[in-house]
Amino acid sequence: MQNIIQVQNVSQRFHSAEGEFLALDNVSFNVRAGETLSLIGHSGCGKSTLLNLIAGLTLPSDGVLLCDNREIAGPGPERAMVFQNHSLLPWLTAQENVALAVDQVFQHSMSRAERQAWIEHNLARVQMSHAAHKRPAELSGGMKQRVGIARALAMKPRVLLMDEPFGALDALTRAHLQDSVMRIQQELNTTIVLITHDVDEAVLLSDRVLMMTNGPAATLGEILTVDLPRPRSRVALADDARYHHLRQQILHFLYEKQRHAA
């Protein structure tokens, strides 16, 4: 399978009042086209730092990151980000928030009518057509996340980067959104890199789970391949011995091999 993202010998240092802090130490891995890759690890191990590097929001202290064999030198619409706290503009409606991204990316390649149809299509994809004219304050947490996902998908990204996208949601809403993301991923064959703290979420959604060691100087610990067939059903997996075995391997890594210092 073709690699979309290549992370090669990446280290990240931060300078603070206490001096230099090595957050990531020599991290290397690839993200394959069409896969869902989860990053999991204890709090502070550098997951967001790594995702921000892939997004191009920051540049590495050492090493190189490539997207489609080109060096990542800044943000780009081919790497769309979905944040934990939706990050919608509060004074714009759901539709206008999506429009902002669509106009930015497709202003010159789509007519106004095509852009409008594309915005509506992406809101429909996440089942938000009914709330297109509502502002974020009028939407539930799950609905805001759906709009955030629509906005990201509307950019036709090669890779969807998700920083704990369901972290702030209740369990039922989280389950609905996980199912939506799995369905969309299957439809579009989108590549997804997802940060999660949730072991069940990691197994349910991922093709591979990248487990990180504790910081400082965090690095890649182990990579777990999740070879459960798709489409996946959380109800069916609850009785699946393979699912429990995979879950156990992540728990073992996190709580036996990487006991958290806190």
Ligand X SMILES: Nc1ncnc2c1ncn2[C@@H]1O[C@H](COP(=O)(O)OP(=O)(O)OP(=O)(O)O)[C@@H](O)[C@H]1O
Chain residues in the site for ligand X (CB under 6 A): 14, 16, 21, 23, 41, 43-49, 215
Q: 12 or 122, CB closer to ligand X?
A: 12
CB atoms within 10 A of CB 130: 11
- Side-chain-side CA neighbours of residue 126 (13 Å): 27
Least distance in Å: CB of 151 to ligand X?
22
Nearest to 243 by CA among 221, 228, 260, 253: 228
Nearest to 1 by CA among 45, 40, 32, 24: 32
Q: At what angle do helices 112-125 and 94-106 cross, to 10 degrees?
A: 130
Least distance in Å: CB of 48 to ligand X?
3
Q: 60 or 215, CB closer to ligand X?
A: 215
Least distance in Å: CB of 105 to ligand X?
27
Q: 101 or 221, CB closer to ligand X?
A: 221
The bridge status of strand 36-40 relative to strand 79-82 is unpaired
The amino acid at 148:
G
Q: 45 or 131, CB closer to ligand X?
A: 45
Least distance in Å: CB of 44 to ligand X?
4
Least distance in Å: CB of 95 to ligand X?
31
Q: 11 or 116, CB closer to ligand X?
A: 11
Phi, psi (deg, nearest 5) at residue 13: -110, 145
